[in-house]
Amino acid sequence: MAQRYFTVTWDQLHRDAKALAWRLNSLGPWQGIVAITRGGLIPAAIVARELECRLIETICVVTYDEETRGEPRIIKPAAASGAGEGWLIIDDLVDSGTTARQVRALLPKAHFATVYAKEQGKPVVDTFITEVSQDTWILFPWDTEPQFIAPLARQPV
């Protein structure tokens, strides 16, 4: 289990995904985008809009059950993208790099980009926006809902 949590809001995710698109824009043009489901779907939609890319493919990978990481299983490959030449792979986060390595093996010629990256996964991706520590669990907006939280001063250290 993570030692600390980092909550990402919808607004922050949108800004960070748009910043990712800014970085990727000069590297294109792109033939299409492969979104890693499920976490990469929303960042991929934002990047696709900003880069005016209409061809979107998915690769479906199951890795986590809540906060427990297992071995990644590809349950749907990205058939339309071939070996990935001219394609972008988009995900929300690269953590240990295990999923990223599996996807990269299937699409070795694609450019791999994530919004967030942890230290162990950074070497596997080509582009990312924000680095977070390895012991941080990112709470994405699709996994959370607003609620009251006690001030830090009242929480145990």
Of 11, 16, 65, 92, the active-site residue reads: 92
Is 92 among the catalytic positions? yes
Q: Which of 135, 134, 91, 133 is nearest to 111 (CA)?
A: 91
Of 11, 16, 65, 91, the active-site residue reads: 91
Is 91 among the catalytic positions? yes
Question: Strands 87-94 and 68-76: what pairing?
Answer: unpaired
Dihedral sign for Cα atoms in the order 98, 142, 32, 62: positive
Structure tokens that stand for 93 in this block: 């986060």
Of 11, 16, 65, 95, the active-site residue reads: 95
Cα three-residue angle 121-116-33, rounded to 5 degrees: 90
CA-CA distance, 119 to 106, in Å (whole number)? 23
Question: How many Cβ atoms are within 10 Å of 133's Cβ, its own excluded?
Answer: 11
Residues designated catalytic: 91-92, 95
